Amino acid sequence: MKYMHMNLVNTYAQLGATFSSNVVPQPLEQPRLVHRNQSLAEQLGYASFSDEDFVQFCNGKNLPKNSQSIAMVYAGHQFGSWVPRLGDGRAILVGEATKSDDTLYDLQIKGAGLTPYSRNGDGRAVLRSTIREYLCSEALHNLGIPTTRSLCMIDSETLVYREKTETGAAMIRVAESHVRFGTFEYFSYTKQYDALQALVDYVIQRHFPEWKNEENRVELLFTEAVKRTAELIAQWQSVGWCHGVMNTDNMSILGLTIDYGPFGFLDGFDAQHICNHSDWQGRYAFSRQPDIGYWNCTALAQALLPILPGGQESAQAILKTYPKFFAEKYSILLRAKFGFATADESDSTLIDQIFQQMQEEKTDYTIFFRSLCDDSVENLFVDREKFRRWYRIYQRRLNQEGRAEQDIRAGMLASNPKYILRNHLLQIAIDKAEVGEYSEIETLFTIMQKPFDEQPDYESYAELPPGWAGELEISCSS
Ligand code: AMP
Ligand code: MG
């Protein structure tokens, strides 16, 4: 059992009992390997592990000797309401892996059983939601979007009860950090200001050691979190991805995409799209994500205030940078999607116009951008005359830059993915996995490794979603 000898450290556990609780994972019955992410395993130095190693490790049975397994405590604002204590209710951090570059990577088993923070939950994760997180975090990673990653996943015979009876699954999530906005909120609202400062110092020591002696290091960390959050959400918007549950406990201090639930990529463009069937009011609708990111940064500011040397004034000044960071990143990403190398003041009108037609006609977001460099793009539209009027102005705008056609095209193909992990593709893989057939998971995993490349064998995976895709309802239950 090679995994027993893996080199783990436990720096978060060493912060003490205020920050986490010791827990023992509860293994699932008759675990089976669903997938192992060999390229991530290679990066972490686990390439030679056997499948059985991954099964045992993912099942939390016989953990490596130097593992100290813990559940992290946090709080958060869920759908705008304050929840004083949350914490890892079904995720267990088994330690931090060291890679050659000195970066520590948290290894966390998700679905490993009860913890002191399970509240009314059972500590389990069902197969369908585990497949969704496992594949989508890798899909976003390959789109160049900061995210937690997936190392391996297992299915089991353990029964888990949701709307129906399902089977329990587990995955190993890998991330540079699992510290959330809600982790800071927990210590702030319980008035444990020494612990709050210790958490800030921990994050700085681990991720930004160059700031560790700076007097204004809380400000520096907050500024970085605001910037990363704004830029992360700009990236989500540019690929048409909706998180679905942007509660502050699901916001990473490092600006990683974390806690995949009822997420979804847009099919037909709809700015008001709500991917979470339980989000009645559309708090986390697609077009609201940038504003919610700001709201969440405000909640983080509030939490950090007791230890922020500059106080309110400084918090406000830093918060003000959010719209600027968002707009800068978003406009760079959008310009690349349209093939513009430079900025022109007419761009926002031009872009608004086409988004408006796409909204009216529910034009497929991903296919539109991928087709924009082909002559066939007008076929996507119902009102072709209207589209042609727009397209002539767009062509003029492109020509104004005087770049070679093939350069423009190459840039656009590298900025507009052909393959995205649409909900219906996931659903097909889930339906198969629920009857014990995991091959479609491997297929999607393979395709999503190279989302910008032409993959002639998988042409059908880039096509318009079938009619039933619109009927899919993804709830919070997971
Ligand atoms: P989420 O919105 O999925 O990020 O979860 C919100 C909170 O509920 C987190 O603290 C989770 O750990 C907890 N939770 C979600 N599902 C379960 C479960 N099945 N058992 C225990 N805790 C859970
Ligand atoms: Mg969560």
Tens of pLDDT, residues 131-164? 999 999 999 999 999 999 999 999 999 999 999 9
- What is the DSSP code string of 464-475? PPPGGGGG----
Q: What is residue 324's DSSP assignment?
A: H
Which residue among 106, 249, 267, 364 is the active-site one?
249
Report how far residue 64's alpha carbon sits from residue 383's, in angstroms, rounded to the nearest whole number.
62
* Token code pair at residue 331: 């406009």
Residue (of 272, 426, 427, 279) closest to 362 by Cα position: 272
In a domain, 395, yes or no: yes
Question: Over the chain, what is the mean pLDDT?
Answer: 97
Q: Is 113 in the pocket of ligand 1 (CB under 6 A)?
A: no
Report how far residue 6's alpha carbon sits from residue 217's, in angstroms, rounded to the nearest whole number.
34
User: CA of 107: how far to CAs of 6, 115, 348, in Å?
Assistant: 11, 17, 43
Report how far residue 187's alpha carbon sits from residue 85's, in angstroms, rounded to the nearest whole number.
10
What is the Å distance from ligand 1's center to 90 Cα? 6
Report how far residue 292's alpha carbon sits from residue 290's, in angstroms, rounded to the nearest whole number.
5
Report how far residue 27's alpha carbon sits from residue 109's, in angstroms, rounded to the nearest whole number.
11
3-state helix, strand, coil in the chain (%, to 5): 45, 15, 40
Query: If residue 348 lies in a helix (H) or strand (E), which one and from where to where?
Result: helix 347-361
Select from 363, 398, 413 the last residue of a domain: 413
Tell me if residue 162 falls in helix, strand or coil.
coil
Residues, CB-to-ion distance under 5 Å, ligand 2: 250, 259
Q: Is 259 in the pocket of ligand 1 (CB under 6 A)?
A: yes
* Token code pair at residue 299: 């909640």
Q: Is 71 in the pocket of ligand 1 (CB under 6 A)?
A: no
The rounded percent of the chain whose pLDDT value lies above 70 is: 100
Task: Dump strand ranges (E) for 76-184.
Answer: 76-78, 81-83, 91-98, 104-110, 125-126, 149-155, 159-161, 165-175
Tens of pLDDT, residues 91-144? 999 999 987 678 999 999 999 999 999 999 999 999 999 999 999 999 999 999
Residue 371 has pLDDT above 90, yes or no: yes
Contacts with 435 (C-beta within 8 Å, 6 or more apart), sequence order:
none
* Token code pair at residue 357: 């037609």
Question: Given pLDDT bands bounded at 50, 70 and 90, which one contains residue 412?
Answer: very high
In a domain, 158, yes or no: yes
Report how far residue 335's alpha carbon sits from residue 342's, in angstroms, rounded to the nearest whole number.
8
SS (H, E, C) 34-73: EEECHHHHHHHCCCCCCHHHHHHHHCCCCCCCCCCCEEEC
In a domain, 87, yes or no: yes
* Token code pair at residue 74: 């946090």
**Positive or negative CA dihedral for 25, 31, 33, 35?**
negative
Mean pLDDT of 440-449: 98
Question: Given pLDDT bands bounded at 50, 70 and 90, which one contains residue 472?
Answer: confident
- What is the DSSP code string of 166-206? EEEEEEEEEES---BHHHHHHHHHTT-HHHHHHHHHHHHHH
pLDDT value for 373: 85
pLDDT value for 305: 98
Dihedral pair phi/psi, residue 8, rounded to 5° = -115, 145
Q: Is 124 in the pocket of ligand 1 (CB under 6 A)?
A: yes
What is the Å distance from ligand 1's center to 439 Cα? 28
User: CA of 416: how far to CAs of 122, 382, 395, 421, 454, in Å?
Assistant: 40, 22, 18, 14, 12
Report how far residue 9's alpha carbon sits from residue 25's, in angstroms, rounded to the nearest whole number.
18
Tens of pLDDT, residues 293-328? 999 999 999 999 999 999 999 999 999 999 999 999
In a domain, 268, yes or no: no
Q: Is 121 in the pocket of ligand 1 (CB under 6 A)?
A: yes
Ligand 1 atom with the smallest distance to the CA of 245 is: 2
What is the Å distance from ligand 2's center to 249 Cα? 6
In a domain, 375, yes or no: yes
Reply yes or no on whether 249 is catalytic.
Answer: yes
Tens of pLDDT, residues 51-89? 999 999 999 998 999 999 999 999 999 999 999 999 999
User: With contact defined as beta carbons under 8 Å apart, do 112 and 168 qualify?
Assistant: no
Select from 123, 145, 178 the last residue of a domain: 178
pLDDT value for 1: 86
What is the Å distance from ligand 2's center to 250 Cα? 5
Report how far residue 432's alpha carbon sits from residue 448's, in angstroms, rounded to the nearest whole number.
18
pLDDT value for 271: 98
What is the Å distance from ligand 2's center to 30 Cα? 27
Total domains in the chain come to 2
Residue (of 235, 233, 243) closest to 294 by Cα position: 233
pLDDT value for 156: 98
pLDDT value for 83: 98
In a domain, 254, yes or no: no
pLDDT value for 471: 83
Q: Is 87 in the pocket of ligand 1 (CB under 6 A)?
A: yes
Ligand 1 atom with the smallest distance to the CA of 122 is: 20
Mean pLDDT of 168-181: 98
pLDDT value for 100: 66
Select from 144, 178, 212 the last residue of a domain: 178
**Measured in Å, how far apart are the chain's first and last C-alpha atoms?**
31
Residue 475 has pLDDT above 80, yes or no: no
Q: Is 250 in the pocket of ligand 1 (CB under 6 A)?
A: yes
In a domain, 45, yes or no: yes
**Residue 353 structural domain:** 340-413
Ligand 1 atom with the smallest distance to the CA of 123 is: 20
Question: Given pLDDT bands bounded at 50, 70 and 90, which one contains residue 476?
Answer: confident
Ligand 1 atom with the smallest distance to the CA of 261 is: 3
Site to probe by mutation for ligand 1, drawn from 118, 124, 126, 166 as the one with most ligand atoms within 8 Å of Cβ, is 118
What is the Å distance from ligand 2's center to 259 Cα? 5
Report how far residue 213's alpha carbon sits from residue 287's, in angstroms, rounded to the nearest whole number.
40
Residue 397 has pLDDT above 70, yes or no: yes
In a domain, 110, yes or no: yes
Residue 258 has pLDDT above 80, yes or no: yes
Mean pLDDT of 402-406: 95
Q: Is 166 in the pocket of ligand 1 (CB under 6 A)?
A: no
- In one-letter notation, the amino acid at residue 370 is R
pLDDT value for 474: 84
